Amino acid sequence: MIILSVDIGSTKVCAIIAQTEDEDGVKILGAGISKSQGIKKGIITNIELASRSIKHAINDAKRVAGTHYDRVIVSISGAYTKSVDSYGVVNVPNKEISIKEINRVLQMADHNANIPNEYEKLHVLPYNFRVDDHSNIDDPLGMNGSRLEVEVHIITVLKSSLNNLKKAVKSASVEIDNIVLNGYASSIAVLNEDEKELGVAVIDLGGATSNLVIHQGNSIRYNDFLGVGSNNITNDLSMALHTPIGAAERVKIDYGSLKTDSNDTIELPTIGDENSSNDVSLEIVSNVIYARVEETLMILAKSIENSGFSEQLGAGVVLTGGLTKLDGIKELAQAIFNNMPVRLAKPNERNIEGMFDTLKCPEFSTSIGLVLYGAGRFTPYEMDSSRRLRYKDEIIEPSKNTNPLLDEEEYDSDYEEYDDYEDDIDDIGELIDRDNQESGFKRLWNKISQLF
């Protein structure tokens, strides 16, 4: 099976074409990277420019791969997302749980969720199955029971933001197969099973955004977004050092550190007059970077505390994304996250063949995660952005049935009966109308009789 994934970030668009191999293996065939245009802080602000960036990255990936594919898995920023928890329960008619019952119970949880009209569901992720009185069932498929219950975490996104993304991708001459939250994709790429089981917070520190997801057991339990990234450091350096943006970016890349105590100086061009320059201490550079990174991590630490899961993160915090290349960020994060374990993560290369050196960097965690999602490495069960049930490498299309309590056969037969009931109700209605008319006539006749 061919997979085409596109990570639409605020600083870059990365397209990867891959092929699934036997035994859960993935082979990367080609990749293309283009500079993001028309995208700010994870939100599309110019559809035409964004589409151009997407198309450029996809065409480069196709040229390298030597193959064509026009259905794509794309990432979406955590900006303007909301999350809710929901619950569903169904009976098990045959006393053995099949994929049909799992599909129905997820549809029920989906149906019960209270979602604002301006939002659309992106992921329905089960985190706890219960069979009769047994809780914390990892996989209920094939188990015996009379009642199946599920608790789910539902991630929703603002419809306007989602529609703009769809338009930009469609204008790039490809069709969307699935849309995945970028923080979710990053967690797929960097986490191991032990970390998921113990509870872990994954923070992707990107170019213009920072995305947080808390993973516990089988699923995501919490997600958040912060519109701050490494570009903010560049802007801070430009303002503090009175130097152009390009020069500030080079300083960040070449000298960026959180623990420099050197008094060495570097020569930088002056903003507005690049023919002149001034000397700047590396200690000042470090202090500017430190202030921004400390503020960013403190806001994210507060979000973890507000999530209610801070005491359940046995595996601590995993940091990924381009900002993690800063020297000293792990030590600063440990101090801010109350001495939790902190791990700096790159995409997991296990069972991935042909992974280019560029893609092994932490800023490509989301890109690799999208490929792995397409290969079936996601939450054991979930309803995706197209309302399909995904289970490992199986995809079950949504039923025509809008009532999750009924399977398709029951749906057809019950609605035939409903048509009969509707006819009966129409007949009863006519009788009532006729009775009302007759009663009215009798009352009028009685009054006329009394007058005479």
| pLDDT tens per residue, range 254-266 | 988 888 767 788 9
Q: What is the pLDDT of residues 147-157, one digit of tens each?
A: 999 999 999 99
Determine, yes or no, domain membership for 401: no
pLDDT at residue 377, as a whole number: 81
Is residue 232 located within the same domain as residue 111? no
Is residue 263 located within the same domain as residue 327? yes
pTM: 0.85
Is residue 225 located within the same domain as residue 335? yes
Determine, yes or no, domain membership for 109: yes
The number of distinct structural domains making up the chain is 3
Indicate which CATH number applies to the domain containing 289.
3.30.420.40
User: Which three-class secondary structure string do you get for the chain?
Assistant: CEEEEEEECCCEEEEEEEEECCCCCEEEEEEEEEECCCEECCEECCHHHHHHHHHHHHHHHHHHHCCCCCEEEEEECCCCEEEEEEEEEEECCCCECCHHHHHHHHHHHHHHCCCCCCEEEEEEEEEEEEECCEEEECCCCCCECCEEEEEEEEEEEEHHHHHHHHHHHHHCCCEEEEEEEHHHHHHHHHCCHHHHHHCEEEEEECCCCEEEEEEECCEEEEEEEECCCHHHHHHHHHHHHCCCHHHHHHHHHHHCECCCCCCCEEEEEECCEEEEEEEEEHHHHHHHHHHHHHHHHHHHHHHHHHHCCHHHCCCCEEEECHHHHCECHHHHHHHHCCCCCEEECCCCCCCEECCCCHHHCHHHHHHHHHHHHHCCCCCCEEECCCCCEEECCEEECCCCCCCCCCCHHHHHHHHHHHHHHHHHHHHHHHHHHHHHHHHHHHHHHHHHHHHC
Q: How confident is the model at residue 218 (pLDDT cuts 50, 70, 90)?
A: confident
Q: What is the pLDDT of residues 398-448, one digit of tens each?
A: 765 545 555 444 433 333 333 433 444 344 344 445 444 545 545 544 544
Is residue 201 located within the same domain as residue 135? no
Is residue 231 located within the same domain as residue 331? yes
Query: Which domain range does residue 234 map to?
Result: 194-344
Is residue 202 located within the same domain as residue 339? yes
Is residue 139 located within the same domain as residue 202? no
Q: What is the pLDDT of residues 353-383, one digit of tens each?
A: 989 899 999 999 999 999 999 988 877 899 9
> What's the rounded mean pLDDT across residues 6-31?
90
Is residue 114 located within the same domain as residue 217? no
Determine, yes or no, domain membership for 59: no
Determine, yes or no, domain membership for 373: no
Is residue 238 located within the same domain as residue 331? yes
Is residue 232 located within the same domain as residue 330? yes
Is residue 202 located within the same domain as residue 272? yes
Q: How confident is the model at residue 164 (pLDDT cuts 50, 70, 90)?
A: very high
Q: What is the pLDDT of residues 219-254, one digit of tens each?
A: 899 999 999 999 999 999 999 999 999 999 999 999
Is residue 113 located within the same domain as residue 209? no
pLDDT at residue 393, as a whole number: 62
